[in-house]
Structure 1
Amino acid sequence: MNDKQEQKRISKPELRRLSALLDSREIEILQTINNVKFITANQLQRIFFTKNENQATNLRACNRQVNKLKKYGLIASLEQRIGGKRAGSGSTIWTISSAGFQLLRLDEIKSMKGTRKKLYEPNILFLEHTLAISEAFARLKELDQQKKIELLEVQHEPRCWRTFSLKNTPTFLKPDLFARFAQTDEYEEFYFLELDQATEAPSRVVKKCKFYISYYNSGIEQRSNGVFPYVVWITVNEKRREQLTRYIHEYLPKAEMLFRVITIDEFETLLTGDQTERKED
């Protein structure tokens, strides 16, 4: 971290004073940063600052807001940036500070258990994966803003995780995101999202797909939502997309209707286009 002030402790009375100084959008920004763990200024701008047609103006407004939160010691920025310093202020990566987490807990003690761990500079693979999740979330919010979908619910980790019994052993299924949205007033769509950075062998993806099949067979999600969500693997390029599609088709031919493999540029088309009917309970 490059923020010295993030290490200092802030008393509960001081946190309450700071909380009273924040408006609803600033609280929502803190909640978003906490939910996604790491997010770029550019992604925050696209989620929260969209009123001006000039994107540079929107980014400046975003930077003023996050710098205010930084001044209060509620968020911190990483030393590293996406694209390096030449990429500009939009490449700054933000994360919640211990004080920011404790401020959120003032009014959300029941839903935010535990204490915040000491902040750290994450390794590049973890950071790239986390920012890919943040990018998927930002695009969901953009589609909602553009009224191309009505975003009804997003569950971040660990809320999106599911527990079920596999061979009489309690097992966690850990999607990266869960999204529920509507395209029309007539029906809703449900998605488990997996962000693939092509850092693992395709066999590991197939193994994770088998976990989803086991969870599908448990019937838990169908009893809750009436249908089983699509499992969407969002990967880095077309070559990787074709590779994963081939592996799923070869090793899981009877279950491939549960899965989609796309690039991030195909995300909007998938969410707003015609959907193939999936299996119901």
Structure 2
Amino acid sequence: MSITNRYLNQLGPQLTERDLAIIFEVGRFKLMSGGQLERLFFADCSDTSRARNRQAVLRRLTGHRVLARLGQRRVGGAQRGSASYLYTLDVAGQHLAQSTSSRPRRPYSWYEPTVAHLLAVAELYVNLTEAARGGRFTLLDFQAEPYCWRSFGHRTLKPDAFLQLGVIHPDGRRRKGSFFIEVDRANQYGTKIETKLPQYLAYYQHHRQAEPEQSFPRIVFLAPHEQRANYLRRLVAGRPAERRLFTAGLLDDPLGVLLGR
């Protein structure tokens, strides 16, 4: 199928608001599973119709070359059907992303070492979105790479994500928290992680000079298990400056760190 301007002009009016939102999110994270898309966009469906609706929508968008199912690859777990497949933007989706984002992502090229990391960042966003539906907080902002990167001088800080939460306390006080996120996959030890700490410290010093009135985001490492989280905590335990800026928690329970419970 040739993706021409005529084809895109004919396809555009057929897309729903949900279709455009799916294009935006898949473009933002480069790679998402069908299960993640179901949790984001089909949560208001009944238990019996949720999977059926998700299958129909993803099949239609794949047929229109809006989404591409990558390599018949299934993610782990008990999910079946399109929930267990991975999706990225196809050719039509890449063009249509221009209408859903001022800075659409480049096409994803399969690279095995990045798959788990991209899915973990997307999973963090999905988890926070689901938790925010309960009304305990508001997800004010979530920036994935490269839009969460921060340039200063001739250097660039490259966190995995940046997010802001708005929380209303029981006494009515409102508080906004900002966080740089490092999604740790327990496969980086020693030098590589320790070199990231001074990068954050350098950006912190730059921020204090450039914007002394602005608070600095908390830097959160999210690990896959408690043993790894403890390892990360030990890296900064003996360094007072870093201990004030950094904290670590579990990827499966990000609110435990972000909301300080």
Q: Flag whether TM exceeds 0.5 (same fold).
A: yes
Match of 1:98 in 2: 91
Check 1:129–1:74 CA distance in 2 against 1; reply closer, same or farther (3 A cut).
same
Structure 1 stretches of at least 4 aligned residues deviating more than 4 Å after TM superposition: none
The amino acid that maps onto 2:27 is N
With structure 1 as the length reference, what TM-score do the two structures score? 0.83
Match of 1:13 in 2: 6
Contact 2:148–2:160, Cα closer than 8 Å, also in 1: yes
Indicate the percent of aligned positions where both proteins have the same amino acid: 26
Q: Distance in 2 between matches of 1:106 and 1:188?
A: 30
Q: Unaligned regions of 5+ residues in structure 1, if any?
A: 1-7, 275-281
- The question of 1:263 aligning with 2:250 is answered yes
Contact 1:41–1:94, Cα closer than 8 Å, also in 2: yes
Check 1:244–1:106 CA distance in 2 against 1; reply closer, same or farther (3 A cut).
closer
Match of 1:81 in 2: 74
Match of 2:219 in 1: 231
Q: Residue 174 of structure 2 aligns to a residue in which SS? A: coil
With structure 2 as the length reference, what TM-score do the two structures score? 0.89
Match of 2:110 in 1: 121
Q: Unaligned regions of 5+ residues in structure 2, if any?
A: none
The amino acid that maps onto 2:91 is S
- The question of 1:112 aligning with 2:100 is answered no
Check 1:271–1:254 CA distance in 2 against 1; reply closer, same or farther (3 A cut).
closer
Higher-strand-fraction structure = 2
Q: Residue 254 of structure 1 aligns to a residue in which SS? A: helix
Alpha-carbon offset, residue 107 of structure 1 = 6.5
Question: In structure 2, which of residues 176, 179, 186 is the aligned counterpart of residue 191 of structure 1?
Answer: 179
Q: Residue 121 of structure 1 aligns to a residue in which SS? A: coil
Q: Distance in 1 between matches of 2:192 and 2:22?
A: 34
Contact 2:139–2:165, Cα closer than 8 Å, also in 1: yes
Match of 2:136 in 1: 148
Q: Distance in 2 between matches of 1:221 and 1:37?
A: 35
The amino acid that maps onto 1:205 is I
Alpha-carbon offset, residue 220 of structure 1 = 6.4
Alpha-carbon offset, residue 257 of structure 1 = 1.7
Match of 2:34 in 1: 41
Q: Distance in 2 between matches of 1:186 and 1:59?
A: 37
Alpha-carbon offset, residue 162 of structure 1 = 0.3
Q: Aligned-pair RMSD on alpha carbons?
A: 2.3
